[in-house]
Amino acid sequence: AKKQGRNRHFWFESSMENELRFRNQLESGIRRGLAQQEFVPYYEQQIDIDTGQLVGFEMLARWHSEQLGLVSPEIFIPIAEEMGLISQLSEQLMDRAFMDAREWDDDLTLAINISPVQLRDPWFAQRLLKRLIETNFPPRRLEIEITESCLHENIGLVRSMIISLRNQGVQVSLDDFGTGYSSLEQLRNLPFDRIKIDRSFVRELREPGTRSRLIDAIVALGRELELPLTAEGVESEEILTELRSMGQIKAQGYVYGKPESAQKVRERLATQGRL
Ligand code: C2E
Ligand code: CA
Ligand code: CA
Ligand code: CA
């Protein structure tokens, strides 16, 4: 029994060690990846449900790590945030995305995700506008997505940031809506352009006829605040049909295909004559 105990102790130690080693590997990998530009934008189509028309893309970060293969943003974004490298990473991706999107048809929008950590920088809006100017990408084609967790931060700062971006023509949407704790009061006071319904709610539309009250409430809220809605994580035709009955909504999700590389997007747009 004593021996077993020692083994267990040993196993515990080594698994912690492994975790630490993995973490260190990730951190040095992220540094190297930034230097070698291993982070690349992928794009997910956004569709106007009523017309079926492609209206834009959401940029989603991907890491093609030499050591680790393809790494999910759910893993490297939080670590880059902790390492203080998220702004640098995001700006590298933005520059690429702006240059990609510049080649697309002029009426296609580009949405990018912004971390709450980036929003703590009082110069965030100025830095973003500088990137737009340097890459010659029109602000009116850009939409930034911020999550509800940003609203726990300095709300005054976030508010003035949203206002100065909107004054330049950039659109601002509230991502993952319903998963955080934003109040009606906050929503009314912050000048968002759009609300994105989190995919955990959208998924509940799977079984026809069993529409969740939560989704109905979110749609009603959008109407009340006169904010257009985007449903994310739409996986099936059944869900699309349910959404269609709710009126004017944008949709994105696997039903239209997985996020794809800039090259694949170009091929897609070329067949539609929208390059
Ligand atoms: P998000 O902004 O909520 O993005 C939607 C996520 O859902 C993406 O995962 C997308 O690939 C996935 N998705 C899209 N359609 C479907 C569907 O029909 N079903 C399911 N199950 N999933 C779907 P991804 O690309 O792994 O990104 C995860 C999260 O990482 C994003 O969630 C976003 O919060 C964050 N992220 C991605 N790129 C960036 C970035 O450049 N900057 C920052 N700050 N965060 C990013
Ligand atoms: Ca998003
Ligand atoms: Ca989202
Ligand atoms: Ca999400």
**Which ranges of the chain would DSSP assign to H, the alpha helix?**
2-35, 73-82, 86-102, 116-119, 124-135, 155-167, 184-189, 199-202, 213-224, 237-244, 262-271
- In the predicted model, is pLDDT for residue 153 greater than 90? no
- With a 6 A CB cut-off, is 205 part of the ligand 1 pocket? no
Indicate the top mutation candidate among 76, 82, 113 to test ligand 1's pocket, ranked by most ligand atoms within 8 A of CB: 113
- With a 6 A CB cut-off, is 113 part of the ligand 1 pocket? yes
Average pLDDT, the chain: 91
Three-state DSSP class for residue 39: strand
Q: Which of 7-21, 40-54, 210-224, 252-266 has the lowest mean pLDDT?
A: 7-21
pLDDT in tens, 88-125: 999 999 999 999 999 999 999 999 999 999 999 999 99
| Atom 9 of ligand 1, nearest CA residue | 60
- The residue written with tokens 């209206």 in the block is 55
> Would you place residue 10 in the very low, low, confident or very high pLDDT band (cuts 50, 70, 90)?
low
Q: Separation of 73 CA from ligand 4 center, angstroms?
A: 11
Tell me the pTM: 0.93
Between 220 and 59, residue with greater pLDDT: 59
pLDDT in tens, 170-196: 999 999 988 887 777 888 889 999 999
Task: Give the mean model confidence (pLDDT) for residues 227-246.
Answer: 93
Q: Separation of 27 CA from ligand 3 center, angstroms?
A: 25
